[in-house]
Amino acid sequence: MTAPAASRDEFLDFFGMSLPERQRGTGRIFPTPYETSTEPSPLEHPETAFIGRPGPINDFMERFTHVHDRSKILIYVDGACANNGRGGANAAWAFYFGPEPEARTCSGRLEMKGPFGGEVQQQTSNRAELRAALAALRARQWSDDGYRTVVIAADSEYVVRGATEWAKMWTQNNWKTSGGDDVANRDLWELLLGEAERYQDLGLAIQFWRIDRRFNQVADAAAKKATANPDDEDFEDFMVPGI
């Protein structure tokens, strides 16, 4: 996300915002798949169920809310990585949460350090896509706006199945895959589970919806553009004001 002219702390103070503490999840709570009356299909356009309109509390903040339940917000996320899997890879993330994408799209470079200070060994598209989901979840205290469910729409099987299925196995296996290897991007997965626990304490649920890539063009384009941004060393949270 393009940084404001003021420092981040000054920006947060101006809007009366504070950053939530980062915590490693314990496996107490896991995100769930997006629930509908019928099995959701990746070929279903998300905007058949979510439309741009004000949320449950504010009457001017247009976001993607469910047609039958204004307490559900949809956020598109995506990541990109130039030279993915090769030397000199540059990755970035983006998310998009309402009409007028120029005002409701946030993006940034994938950092060289993780959320708990560890060095990132390799920048990849998988890590960038997962980072995008975390950026969206931590961008705002969505409960303050009356939301009770945050639906993350991603075209990444890695992110959606990892969050709703594989993470359960990983925590039971002490963060080992079924083949006995260390789970990649463990730090981000642990933070995601921490967000699930934090969200439950706030009365919110996190759901993931795998969508077709063609419905994710705004976030995809923003992530690709952000790969050209300068390197970011430390993991940094961004919070968006009530726009």
| pLDDT for res 15 | 52
The CATH number of the domain where 92 resides is what? 3.30.420.10
Banded model confidence at residue 139, pLDDT cuts 50, 70, 90: very high
Spatial neighbors of 60 by CB under 8 A, at least 6 apart, are 54
For residue range 155-201, list pLDDT tens digits in order.
999 999 999 999 999 999 999 999 999 999 999 999 999 999 999 99
- 155, part of any domain: yes
pLDDT in tens, 14-49: 455 677 899 999 999 999 999 765 656 667 889 999
Is 2 contained in some domain? no
Q: How many structural domains is the chain composed of?
A: 1
Q: What is the pLDDT, as a whole number, of residue 239?
A: 83
Is 239 part of any domain?
no
Residue 2 pLDDT level (bands cut at 50, 70, 90):
very low
State the residue range of the domain holding 73.
8-226
Task: Provide the pLDDT for residue 17.
Answer: 60
Please state the rounded mean pLDDT for residues 62-88.
93
Sign of the dihedral through C-alpha 37, 43, 45, 48: negative
**Does residue 15 belong to any structural domain of this protein?**
yes
**Domain-located, residue 70:** yes
Report yes or no on 241 lying in a domain: no
Residue 238 in any domain: the answer is no
Has residue 236 been placed in a domain?
Answer: no
Query: Residue 134: which of 191, 90, 80, 186 has the closest Cα?
Result: 191
CA–CA separation, 69 and 129 (whole Å): 27
